[in-house]
């Protein structure tokens, strides 16, 4: 078997409802698909969810880069995945700040999808299948107190067992929102993401204000380029502190682990360059006693299926936040995962469950 060609195309998704986080309001998202077509057998499909602020990539650049990789991969054996990825990594190493991680993730995803289809197995089973399903949180963007509570009640009624509330613009108002949701929903799991919006002092004030709410985690409260602030907060607060935007490479995982700079990390395939690098990161942080959560960008169900397959395989993954597909209008890959009462289930179809 040899790779005959690559097919690349962008898809712009409209969000059913725009959302606001600490540094932007999002109303649409563009994913870039790749299809690796072998000379015999079924093709493999992958997807990139580039984000200039997180991965350092734009959709336009990602589409161009993926097209340029075709001559590099044509003629290669797609079942020798690591050899193919090694070629891609070498080509992308000096390109953009982090080597085009979502483009790498898309190629690796397509190779894994092809392998699964060749073997007649879903990728989540190939990776080990430590679990068979995973409850996911669902995100509430920055809203007023009453609207936050109303949205929380709606999601709870839909069966979600965990909510992630976004904030970072006003720590006092954010604390009020958390307290109001906890009062309205005493049993639901609460997580909070400040998206780098706080100073160290504001973070400590927020944590003190929400004392007694059983907040499960506080995600990236301070700027990514202030690692010592995150380390001091991790040491000083009873709430589990999660690193997200400051974890962009495998080397970052070593830095976080060596310095005990976080209690948890948010692993996203798109920012780390796919499942292979995510496996490395999870192994590093697990050795340091740091737990993992698998998160997502604004990405279609095919991307979510890859994140879920990784999460299902790893014992150290304690949480998932794989809701990036739920608000995308007319997702052609929707069949790749199944959601029931807030729990994500993988497809039993071969590969990642979507045939394109």
| H helices present in 49-157, as ranges | 59-68, 70-73, 81-92, 101-119, 123-126, 145-157
Give residue-wise pLDDT tens across range 25-75.
788 999 999 999 999 999 999 999 999 989 999 999 999 999 999 999 999
Q: Which of 62, 84, 119 is the last residue of a domain?
A: 119
What number is the average pLDDT over the span 296-325?
98
pLDDT digit string, tens, across residues 251-290: 999 999 998 899 999 999 999 999 999 999 999 999 999 9
- Domain of 243, CATH number, reads 3.20.20.120
Q: Assess whether 163 and 267 both reside in one domain.
A: yes
Q: Are residues 209 and 333 in the same domain?
A: yes
**Could you tell me whether strands 189-193 and 162-166 are parallel, antiparallel, or unpaired per DSSP bridges?**
parallel
**Tally of domains in the chain:** 2
pLDDT at 20: 80
Percent over 90 (pLDDT), the chain: 92
* Distance between CA atoms of residues 273 and 275, nearest Å: 7
Cβ burial 190-221 (10 Å sphere, 16+ → b, else e) = bbbbbbbbbebebbbebbebbeebebbbbbbb
* Residue 99 pLDDT grade (very low, low, confident, very high; cuts 50, 70, 90): confident
Residues 216 and 290 in one domain: yes
Q: Of 102, 119, 136, which marks where a domain is finished?
A: 119
CB contact at 8 A, 320 and 344: yes
pLDDT value of residue 97: 67
* pLDDT tens profile 228-258: 999 999 999 999 999 999 999 999 999 999 9
Mean pLDDT of the chain: 96
pLDDT surpassing 80 at residue 24: no
Whether 329 and 192 map to the same domain: the answer is: yes
Predicted confidence (pLDDT) per residue in 321-340, tens digit: 999 999 999 999 999 999 99
- For residue 320, what are its two tokens? 């998932």
The two structure tokens encoding residue 57: 């990539």
Are 97 and 243 in a shared domain? no
Token pair in block for residue 342 = 């807030």
Q: What is the pLDDT of residue 331?
A: 98
**Is pLDDT at 18 greater than 90 in this prediction?**
no
Name the residue with tokens 């499942």.
275
Cut 0.85: pTM above it = yes
pLDDT tens per residue across span 151-201: 999 999 999 999 999 999 999 999 999 999 999 999 999 999 999 999 999
DSSP state string for 117-131: HHHTSBHHHHTT-S-
Return the active site residues.
Answer: 166, 193, 219, 244, 268
The Cα–Cα gap between 349 and 216 comes to: 34
Range of the domain at 303: 124-346
With cut-offs at 50, 70 and 90, classify the pLDDT of residue 220. very high
* 82 domain residue, yes or no: yes
Which contiguous run of DSSP H or E holds residue 313?
Answer: helix 301-313
Sorting pLDDT into bands at 50, 70 and 90, what band is 21?
A: confident
β partners of residue 35: 7, 45
- Same structural domain, 111 and 172: no
Which one of 87, 119, 151 terminates a domain?
A: 119
On whether both 112 and 128 belong to a single domain, the answer is no
My answer on whether 151 and 222 are in the same domain is yes
Please indicate, yes or no, if residue 351 is contained in any of the structural domains: no
Strand order in the sheet with 25-38: 3-20, 25-38, 44-48
Q: What is the pLDDT of residue 96?
A: 65
Instruction: Report whether pLDDT(84) > 70.
Output: yes
* Residue 136 scores a pLDDT above 80: yes
Predicted pLDDT at 342: 98
- Rounded distance, CA 137 to CA 165, Å? 10
């Amino acid at each position: 078997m040899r790779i005959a060609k690559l097919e690349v195309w962008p898809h712009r998704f409209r969000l059913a409802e725009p959302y606001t986080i600490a540094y932007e309001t999002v109303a649409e998202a563009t994913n870039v698909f790749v299809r690796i077509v072998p000379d015999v057998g079924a093709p493999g499909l992958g997807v990139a969810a580039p984000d200039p602020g997180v991965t350092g990539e734009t959709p336009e650049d990602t589409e161009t880069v993926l097209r340029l990789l075709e001559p590099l991969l044509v003629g290669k054996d797609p079942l020798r995945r690591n050899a193919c990825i090694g070629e891609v990594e070498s080509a992308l190493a000096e390109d953009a700040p982090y080597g085009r991680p979502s483009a790498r993730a898309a190629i690796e995803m397509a190779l894994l999808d092809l392998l699964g289809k060749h073997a007649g197995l879903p990728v989540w089973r190939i990776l080990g299948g430590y679990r068979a399903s995973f409850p996911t949180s669902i995100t509430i963007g920055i809203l007023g107190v009453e609207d936050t509570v109303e949205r929380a009640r709606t999601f709870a009624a839909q069966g979600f067992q965990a909510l992630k509330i976004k904030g970072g613009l006003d720590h006092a108002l954010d604390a009020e929102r958390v307290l109001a949701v906890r009062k309205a929903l005493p049993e639901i799991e609460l997580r909070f993401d400040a998206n780098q919006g706080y100073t160290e002092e504001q973070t400590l004030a927020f944590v003190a204000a929400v004392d007694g709410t059983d907040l499960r985690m506080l995600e990236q409260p301070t700027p990514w380029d202030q690692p010592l602030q995150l380390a001091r907060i991790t040491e000083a607060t009873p709430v589990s502190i999660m690193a997200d935007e400051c974890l962009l490479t495998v080397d970052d995982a070593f830095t976080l682990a060596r310095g005990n700079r976080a209690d948890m990390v948010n692993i996203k395939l798109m920012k780390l360059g796919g499942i292979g690098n995510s496996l490395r990161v999870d192994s590093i942080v697990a050795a340091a006693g740091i737990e993992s959560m698998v998160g997502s960008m604004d990405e279609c169900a095919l991307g979510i299926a890859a994140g879920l397959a990784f999460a299902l395989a790893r014992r150290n993954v304690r949480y998932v936040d794989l809701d990036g597909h739920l608000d995308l209008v007319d997702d052609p890959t929707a069949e790749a995962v199944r959601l029931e009462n807030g729990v994500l289930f993988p497809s039993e179809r071969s590969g990642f469950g979507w045939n394109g």
